A and B are shown apart, each in its own frame.
Chain A
């Protein structure tokens, strides 16, 4: 590509951007049907914007969850069929990345729960993948039609309180079952001692995801803030907290799982000194 061609492309691109910018200012916006309070309340509670799922009214977050599962299923299937059979002893870049990913979670599980790392590593692998990609999902702004007939952009599934409760509760149940399998009644008691864990996990996840969603909603609500700023708020923050939330949940799950599955060692009785 010559310098002249490059210059032409750049100028064309700049012209298109300028035209779009002018158009967004000149073209009148549709009157907002709901106030910012209503928008934010709906983002938190999803009371008004429901989506129909086989005749059942559900929050858009649940639809997001199913869409993400579908996408991950297709990606996993492609990798399983076309990539994994071609694995070699000396890995290529993509194979190394996949192995690094699995190795990372195996390492975390072995560090935090050295006695029973196998199931834990699989669980935190799936949980981290789910949290990470479901958080990134909100960036794409895939639209769905509500039962009212209005469009709604599909949010991150975990910014729906039901999704966050499901994730937190499930993680707690996983820890509890690990404790029972490893240490029977003692493990169950150890897990039940941390009865606040499912609530804290659920609401931490919900709060963290929701804060990102609210900031994004706020930014997009005001037209003037829709230029450049979403690049930072929408993309960088989303990427960052997708990573952070995955890391926080898997770390907490690993630590608690490691604690409850640790084999009980009887303390030697002190001999009576006569």
Chain B
């Protein structure tokens, strides 16, 4: 062959290179590449984990904010309810008080009326008694004696 080209030696060179390929691939390239891929996966997992945790934290925050908003609403509703109940209770107390006042006044008015009627009745009875007595006296005694007695009484009052 020209230029000393020898197919046998070419094949031996190819054999040598294939052997070297196998050696370097299995002993160096592949383990290093695997390690590098593992590291990439490690950081990728870490990144995904961080993102997942961040997303969970966001969801949790949102849930808490929703709960807080709900609690605020509940507090407002309870306050409103309490105010309504208080208003109702106050109205009832006022009504009851007014009722009591009215009842006391009625009782007092009735008592006063009864007292008045009793006094009038007693006065009428007394007047009737006095008149009756005066009439009996007038009938039983001499009118001049009565006049004398009256005059005598008048003089005594004058001397005093």
Residues of B within 8 A of A167 (CB): 13, 17
Q: A153 an interface residue at 8 Å Cβ cutoff?
A: no
Report the bound CA distance from A109 to B4 in whole Å: 35
Q: Quick one: given A58-B12, A79-B27, A162-B10, are A126 and B20 in contact (CB under 8 Å)?
A: yes
Cα separation A265 to B23 with both chains bound (whole Å): 37
Assess the B39–A102 pair: CB atoms within 8 A.
no
Binary contact readout B1-42 vs A (1 if CB under 8 angstroms, 0 otherwise)? 001111011111110110111011101111111011001001
| A102 and B13 contact, CB distance less than 8 A | no
Q: Is the CB of B17 within 8 A of A166?
A: yes
Say yes or no: B33 contacts A102, CB within 8 Å. yes
Contacts A161-B3, A162-B13 given; does A99 touch B27 at CB 8 Å: no
* Contact stretch, chosen from A64-72, A236-244, A251-259: A64-72
Partner of A84, one of B16, B19, B20, B31: B31
With A84-B35, A161-B3 given, is the CB distance from A126 to B13 under 8 Å?
no
**Least CB separation from A130: chain B residue:** B20
If the complex has contacts A102-B29, A125-B24, are A45 and B3 also in contact, measured as CB distance less than 8 A?
yes
List the A residue with the shortest CB-CB distance to B21. Answer: A126
**A65 near B13: Cβ-Cβ < 8 Å:** yes
CB A52 to nearest CB in B, in angstroms, measures 13
Chain B proximity of A77: nearest CB distance (Å): 6
Any chain B CB within 8 A of the CB of A59? yes
Do residues B28 and A79 form an inter-chain contact, with CB atoms below 8 A? yes
A122 & B29 in contact (Cβ 8 Å cutoff) = yes
CB-CB contacts below 8 Å: A108-138 with B: 122-123, 125-126, 129-130
A73 at the interface (CB under 8 A from B): yes
Known contacts: A66-B16, A169-B10. The answer to whether A126 contacts B29 by CB under 8 A is yes
A80 to B5, CA, bound (A): 37
User: A146 an interface residue at 8 Å Cβ cutoff?
Assistant: no
Task: Report chain A residues within 8 Å CB of B28.
Answer: 76, 79-80, 98, 102
Smallest distance from the beta carbon of A183 to chain B beta carbons, Å?
Answer: 24
Q: For B30, list chain A residues within 8 Å (CB).
A: 122
Contact present for B23 and A76 (CB under 8 Å)? yes
Would A102 and B32 count as touching, CB distance under 8 A? yes
Interface size class on chain A is 35 or more
Cα A89 to Cα B25 with chains together (Å): 22
Given the complex of chains A and B, what is the CA–CA distance between A47 and B1 in angstroms?
A: 11
Contact partner of A76 (CB less than 8 A), chosen from B9, B17, B27, is B27
Closest to B18 in A: A170
Residue of A nearest to B36 (CB): A99
Interface flags for B37-73 (1: CB within 8 Å of A; 0: not) read 0010010000000000000000000000000000000
A106 at the interface (CB under 8 A from B): yes
A178 within 8 A of B: no
Is A165 part of the contact surface with B, judged by Cβ < 8 Å? yes
Within 8 A of B (CB), among A37-74: 45-47, 56, 58-59, 62, 65-66, 68-69, 72-73
A197 → chain B closest CB, angstroms: 17
A-B contact pairs, 29 of them (CB 8 A): A47-B4, A58-B6, A58-B12, A59-B6, A65-B12, A65-B16, A68-B20, A69-B16, A73-B20, A80-B31, A98-B32, A102-B29, A102-B32, A106-B33, A122-B29, A122-B30, A123-B21, A125-B29, A126-B21, A126-B25, A130-B17, A161-B3, A161-B5, A162-B4, A162-B9, A162-B10, A165-B5, A169-B14, A170-B17
Q: Name 19 extra pairs, CB < 8 A, besides A45-B3, A59-B6.
A: A46-B4, A47-B4, A59-B9, A62-B16, A65-B16, A68-B20, A69-B23, A84-B35, A98-B28, A102-B29, A102-B32, A106-B33, A122-B29, A125-B29, A162-B4, A166-B11, A166-B17, A167-B17, A170-B17
Binding site for B on A (CB under 8 A): 45-47, 56, 58-59, 62, 65-66, 68-69, 72-73, 76-77, 79-80, 84, 87, 89, 98-99, 102-103, 106, 122-123, 125-126, 129-130, 157, 160-163, 165-167, 169-170
